[in-house]
Structure 1
Amino acid sequence: MKKQIDLVMFDLDGTLAATGRDLANSVNYIRSALRLDPLDDKLVYSHVGRGVEHLLRMSLPENSQDRFKEIMELFLKHYAEHLLDTTALYPHVRETLEYFEKKKRVVVSNKLHRLTVPILRGLGIEACFDAVLGGDSAAEKKPHPGALNRVLADFRIEPARGLIVGDGDADIEAGRGAGVHTCGVTYGLGRKEELVAARPDYLIDDLSELEKYFY
């Protein structure tokens, strides 16, 4: 039986948009500047989802941490200039957003807000959302439920009528903490085994499958 909801919260990286290649290119740009060998794209993808600081710390050796602020600034500058080189929407994103057009639709990403909005705009879907929260929009990033709780409060929606959709365990943990329905997508950047281990309420292989479970 389909569940009625009033709010759908979407992760960005690995859920709405395939951002991995551009992120990996910027990580390897930094590694090249530090005279380090490039990392395999898939290894970089596995570090995406918990914010840029986590991504960089996991992608660089320990001896680079004393220059971390400088390295972060260089990474952000490069990535901001290459946000949409290869980034594209996943299949059926537009159709799914249209299906939920009478609901509140919100992006809750751990990516910085100033990077999230240009991606949504560049992909032509910014206007689909009632709000966009980045990793710096709340005191804590996912998996902390703070950003989700803020959205629920702002729109005065009961958790039982809310849903979060994401490709990582951080999305599922945040959703569980906020008391909303949780749905994992298997096509994204996150490791499927970690996503499954997080035990989402629903697990789908294509975003359009949301239509089977929610209205």
Structure 2
Amino acid sequence: MRNKSIKYTEYIWDFDGTLFDTYPVMVKAFQEALKESGVIEKPEVLLHSMKKSIIETIHSFQSRYQLGELFFERYLEIRQSYSLDEQPPYSDAMKVCNQIVQQCGRNFIVSHRESPSLFALLDYYEMRQFFTEIVTGDHGFERKPSPEAYNYLIKKYQLKKGLSLAIGDRILDIQAGRAAGIKTVFIRSNDGLECDFADFRIDSLKEVLSL
């Protein structure tokens, strides 16, 4: 029987910036790729743009500075050169995901990140076992804010929408969850982004358990 201390049973997580603190490496890798092309940009500017949409950020810089199609590949190469130790989970991520499983809930991930790097991080920090299914960019679903990946999980696992949460740190995550018809949780960070239309807004992962 499910422990009554958690109201929701299904937790659909974003990955970068939600479960794992990967944005510092992503921003540094983007800066390095730009610098190789003779472009200098402040990290705070890149972070603000990447938190809205990484793909749109890449396309914007490619168009503005005529960087070419190989720029994205170079960015990925540089990002992958950073150690896994530099891309840890947030302090409460493992504890929260484990507690959800212990209380008979289920965790899922919907991310645009490619499978090899996402699974490498989960395995390195021994967190893969907490997730029922992990949807990555390699699955071929439409990118958020499309709800396609969320609808796939809802249908496959017969998730009850009233007991499901979509959790993320970007407006795209909230838009996708709302479009799928489930409750949404926006995780605030120190980047100044807000999302007034999320069902819940929290400042730390552990607050998810009290919703």
Bigger Cα displacement from structure 2, 20-29 vs 105-114: 105-114
1:52-201 matches, cutoff 5 A:
52-60=54-62, 62-65=64-67, 67-68=68-69, 70-82=70-82, 84=84, 86-101=86-101, 102-187=104-189, 191-193=192-194, 195-196=195-196, 199-201=197-199
Asked whether the equivalents of residues 167 and 188 of structure 1 are also in contact (C-alpha less than 8 Å), the reply is no
Q: Which residue of 1 aligns with 2:46?
A: 44
Structure 1 regions of 5+ residues with no counterpart?
Answer: none
1:52 Cα offset (Å): 4.5
Distance across 2 between alignment mates of 1:7 and 1:120:
19
Q: Which amino acid aligns with 1:93?
A: A
Distance across 2 between alignment mates of 1:148 and 1:21:
27
Bigger Cα displacement from structure 2, 138-147 vs 73-82: 73-82
Distance across 2 between alignment mates of 1:159 and 1:83:
38
1:150 Cα offset (Å): 0.6
Distance across 2 between alignment mates of 1:135 and 1:169:
18
Asked whether the equivalents of residues 187 and 201 of structure 2 are also in contact (C-alpha less than 8 Å), the reply is yes
Q: What secondary structure is seen at the aligned counterpart in 2 of 1:12?
A: coil
Question: What root-mean-square deviation, in Å, do the aligned CA atoms of Structure 1 and Structure 2 show?
Answer: 2.2
Aligned residues: 206
Structure 2 regions of 5+ residues with no counterpart?
Answer: none
Query: Structure 1's 2 and 181: CA in aligned 2 closer, same or farther, altered over 3 A?
Result: farther
1:47 Cα offset (Å): 2.6
Q: What secondary structure is seen at the aligned counterpart in 1 of 2:165?
A: strand
**Identity score, percent:** 19
Q: What secondary structure is seen at the aligned counterpart in 1 of 2:84?
A: coil
1:18-39 deviation line (CA, Å, top 9, x unaligned): 11111011111111110112x2
Distance across 1 between alignment mates of 2:59 and 2:137:
16
Q: What secondary structure is seen at the aligned counterpart in 2 of 1:105?
A: strand
1:80 Cα offset (Å): 1.9
1:63 Cα offset (Å): 3.4
Q: Which amino acid aligns with 1:35?
A: G
Query: Structure 1's 186 and 51: CA in aligned 2 closer, same or farther, altered over 3 A?
Result: closer
Q: Which amino acid aligns with 1:192?
A: L
TM-score normalised per structure 1: 0.86
Bigger Cα displacement from structure 2, 56-65 vs 103-112: 56-65
1:11 Cα offset (Å): 0.6
1:3 Cα offset (Å): 6.8
1:134 Cα offset (Å): 1.4
TM-score normalised per structure 2: 0.87
1:114 Cα offset (Å): 2.9
Distance across 2 between alignment mates of 1:173 and 1:43:
23
